[in-house]
Structure 1
Amino acid sequence: MNKLIVITGQTATGKTKLALDYAQKYNGELINCDSRQIYRYLDIITGKDITTNKYYVVNKNKNSSIGYYLLSDRTSSVEERRDLPAGRQETAGVKKSLAKKIWLYDIINPDQYFSSFDYQRCALFIIKKLLEEDKTPIIVGGTYLYLKHLLYGFDTENIPPNWNLRKILSKKSVKELQKILKEQDAQSFNRLNNSEKNNPQRLIRKIEIVMYYDRHPELVSGSDLSFLRKQESRFRNKFGMTYFLNKKLHIKNLKIEFIALKFKNKDSLRKTIEKRVEERLKLGAIEEIKNILKMGYTENDPGLKTIGYKQLISHLRGELSRDEAISQWISKEIQYAKRQYAFMKRDKNISWRDV
């Protein structure tokens, strides 16, 4: 039987640990679904569970590479880790026989843009590969937009990435991107929710789509496209998650187990986030940022616009004290966890578990 396991939920709820348990039980391999962990060099602050410094590449092009790391069957504590080059950590005493692969860490550099469309293509490549090897793909991570488009598809999935356009737009501020999209297609901008309107990656993908249709007006003329979209939507609603993936993978019997983890209460959420931020500072979060900046990357690059990096870069530039930066980092992580739950709770296919 073809089986896919999805483990998502709020940040800091122990998703990777649970995924490793499932990997042992079902002969599985993990596939990262965290939009912050796709970037190379962003290790400590994003919380990559890397237990070896060796990265095995299986597919590579000029813009990205797909490969895997090996993880142990347990989550290591701060005391059990030792420093490795470029901010990596290795767990002492990792047993090779228990190590499991995790795919889709370190796909691109911090200055590159990566959309949910790009993620879908990479994840489908790995899922198909693992199923052919009679293994169980286990998607793990809290980026629901990636999951949504992987499991349910989206109308614009066949629009290819425009790398030159992305490179130009990635240097723009959120306000500049908003202005460009409004000028190109005000309706597309108005359909975005507040979070999407302030998400540079989402804005860039929307601009990319609008400009693609501007070059291919035949794709949006007439009633054919509208009919096909409505027909596709009816199939998704009727057959659920399996419809899209069965179609993409050319199989008929895929079974999906969709699990999400959430905190029991706000107090538990705050304490866990505070502890995790403290641990990552001890592991060398500030040094990690210094090393990345020395490599020539800037705070305007897509990868460094994420939580933790923005606040600590402001501290390094003298705009915030260390305590102010840490406080803002914690607050942003808590807000992010709340947004995650707000989006995910709308998905009726999710089976929730409290931690």
Structure 2
Amino acid sequence: MTPEVLVIAGPTASGKTELSIHVAQALGGEIISADSRQIYRYMDIGTAKPTVEEQAVVPHHLLDVVDPNETFSAGQFALAASNHIEDLIGRGLVPIVVGGAGFYFEALFEGLSPIPETPYHIKSEVAALIKQNLEGAHSSLKDVDPEVADRVAPTDRQRIARALEVFRSTGKPLSHFQTLPRVPATTRTPLAFGIGLQRQELRNRINLRVHRMIEDGLIIETERLLSKGYGKADAMKSFGYRESAAFLFGNMTIEDAVDAIKTGTRQYAKRQITWFRNRTQLNWLDPERDDLKGAIISRYEAVKSASA
């Protein structure tokens, strides 16, 4: 089938941004970000968001979507990305989905379990329960959905909350919805590439990126976010910001904060690699061996010609 959407996936600090811009310029495309942290406004340095200059070269979509204290689910991403894909194809452009959020890619191309939206008041009730008695919340989950409770750690606040929200809003356990057929947000055919780096090379890139973020003003950016009242937002608990906040509150030295950011980033990259390695549809590229831009463009043109 003719590839209608290009995908460039890989772990953080693997060079996706620069590569995707070059590919978009060559093919006449625009970029749809699939990054679960770059959706937040005001969080630019710590998420390695494409700069204003980079966005001026090639239009980027799904950046700066919500404030740090707001939520943006994989389902919301998939719907928004699908709409952008249709718009770009309708304008004769190549949609290029770029990022490292595996769950976003899954929602877009494979679909998620069809779970109804949870009313806000139920989310608030469950959040209060989780905050007051996490152990009791997990016990309640065992009563209403033992299958999910067995898979979820007693300390996993987010997943316990999600399962309880679903039951309270629908009267059915989350495990019921997980057995239903998935419906992908788009039926457009993707041609997907993964950037594979040797462990030490990725480690070096992460270390360099962290030092560059500090030099570019990550601490100042974090201070501004705190002054805006986002200190308790879930987005601020992600690597880079939690350590910067700890430094600002006097709980860490700058040296310890930098080391902790490196560690958190490496752990995140490891989880990304594990997720992507289990996806056989990715065409893996080695930056040390391959001309990444040339390999993607030649493969895209070859598959397109063969499908014509």
Which TM-score tier does this pair reach, normalised by the shorter chain?
0.7 to 0.9
Query: Which of 94, 108, 114 is 2:72 aligned to?
Result: 114
Query: Which of 186, 190, 193 is 1:259 aligned to?
Result: 193
1:71 corresponds to: 55
Paired residues for 1:53-92 under 5 Å? 71-72=55-56
- Do the aligned partners of 2:130 and 2:137 also contact (CA within 8 Å) in 1? no
2:169 corresponds to: 212
Displacement after TM superposition at 1:176 (Å): 5.6
1:281 corresponds to: 214
> What secondary structure sits across from 2:77 in the alignment?
helix
Displacement after TM superposition at 1:165 (Å): 4.1
Displacement after TM superposition at 1:168 (Å): 6.2
Aligned equivalents of 2:33, 2:138: Cα separation in 1: 30
Q: Which runs of 5 or more residues in structure 1 are unaligned?
A: 53-69, 73-98, 234-243
2:249 corresponds to: 317
- Do the aligned partners of 1:113 and 1:167 also contact (CA within 8 Å) in 2? no
- Do the aligned partners of 2:126 and 2:164 also contact (CA within 8 Å) in 1? no
Are 1:328 and 2:260 counterparts?
A: yes
Paired residues for 1:1-355 under 5 Å? 3-51=4-52, 71-72=55-56, 99-157=57-115, 159-166=116-123, 180=137, 182-184=139-141, 185-192=145-152, 198=156, 200=158, 202-214=159-171, 229=180, 232=181, 245=184, 248-249=185-186, 254-264=188-198, 266-298=199-231, 300-355=232-287
Percent identity between the two aligned chains: 26
> What secondary structure sits across from 2:47 in the alignment?
coil
- Do the aligned partners of 1:36 and 1:303 also contact (CA within 8 Å) in 2? yes
TM-score w.r.t. structure 1 length? Answer: 0.71
Aligned equivalents of 1:179, 1:351: Cα separation in 2: 45
- Do the aligned partners of 1:142 and 1:340 also contact (CA within 8 Å) in 2? yes
> What secondary structure sits across from 2:202 in the alignment?
helix
Displacement after TM superposition at 1:30 (Å): 0.6
Higher strand share: 1
Higher helix share: 2
- Do the aligned partners of 1:156 and 1:209 also contact (CA within 8 Å) in 2? no
> What secondary structure sits across from 1:71 in the alignment?
helix
- Do the aligned partners of 2:126 and 2:165 also contact (CA within 8 Å) in 1? no
Aligned equivalents of 2:162, 2:274: Cα separation in 1: 22
Paired residue total = 282
Aligned equivalents of 1:178, 1:152: Cα separation in 2: 34
CA separation of 1:178 and 1:105: change in aligned 2, threshold 3 A: farther
Amino acid corresponding to residue 294 of structure 1 in structure 2: S
- Do the aligned partners of 2:24 and 2:31 also contact (CA within 8 Å) in 1? yes
Displacement after TM superposition at 1:144 (Å): 0.4
CA separation of 1:119 and 1:162: change in aligned 2, threshold 3 A: farther
Aligned equivalents of 1:175, 1:19: Cα separation in 2: 45
Q: Which runs of 5 or more residues in structure 2 are unaligned?
A: 288-308
TM-score w.r.t. structure 2 length? Answer: 0.81
> What secondary structure sits across from 1:49 in the alignment?
coil
Aligned equivalents of 2:283, 2:135: Cα separation in 1: 36
